[in-house]
Amino acid sequence: MKKDQYYFDVLIRCATFGCDAASFLQESFAQFDPATVVARMEAIHEIEHKADDLKHEMIRKLGKEFITPIEREDILTLSQELDNVVDCLDDVMQRLYMHNVLALRGDMLEFVELIVRCTQALHRALEEFPNFKKSQTIVVHIVEVNNLESEGDALYLEAMRRMNTGESNPINILAWTHIYEGLENCLDACEHASEVIESVIMKNT
């Protein structure tokens, strides 16, 4: 594998872990059973662990390289932002466990569908990243990530409104606020990664 291609391929693989974690979270929501939360929390954490291992492997190699296809700081920053996507998805399952959730609120399925679409759009952007100087579609995928994050903001606003007008138990309000914030963090993490890609494009074209 060419040196230049190695870093792009690893970044794509990092984005793949995000897609895998998002799909697993969506499946966990669709088939939600409080009895399986611990097992599912452990399973998504294994995805997060593999993503960490890949990132650390790349960082070790990056530390020995003299020439890289883009600035090493950009490679490092982007790998960290992609890792944050998986961390945030892992964190959602931990929040469900932490608050002993016995049933999901209806709008959470819509939220996780947005997250799946957002990780997929980010993955498509990373697939185009090796050819970012000539790609006709990478900006389209970045814009899609931004649009999906904005949809998530609107969904979060309405979900919080419904909860605060329909729920009177302060403990439940605190718990669900924490969980909704975790879901929103996933979309924010995708947008932050896309912003790094956009910054690299701006600096190199």
Residue 141 sits in a domain of what CATH number?
Answer: 1.20.58.220
Q: Confidence class of residue 67 from pLDDT cuts 50, 70 and 90? A: confident
Domain that holds residue 174: 3-204
Query: How many structural domains compose the chain?
Result: 1
Contacts of 54 by beta carbon, 8 Å cutoff, 6+ apart = 10, 13, 14, 17
Q: Confidence class of residue 2 from pLDDT cuts 50, 70 and 90? A: low
Instruction: Look at residue 81 and tell me whether its pLDDT is greater than 60.
Output: yes
pLDDT in tens, 38-51: 999 999 999 999 99
**pLDDT (0 to 100) of residue 69:** 86
Q: How far apart are CA 111 and CA 116, in angstroms?
A: 9
Instruction: Look at residue 1 and tell me whether its pLDDT is greater than 50.
Output: no
Q: Are 109 and 154 in contact (CB under 8 A)?
A: no
| Residues 120-131, mean pLDDT to the nearest whole number | 96
CB neighbourhood size of 149 (10 A): 22
Q: Confidence class of residue 24 from pLDDT cuts 50, 70 and 90? A: very high
Proportion of the chain above pLDDT 90, given as a percent: 88
Q: Confidence class of residue 205 from pLDDT cuts 50, 70 and 90? A: confident
- Tell which residue, 150, 145, 135, has the closest CA to residue 18: 145
| Residues 103-118, mean pLDDT to the nearest whole number | 96
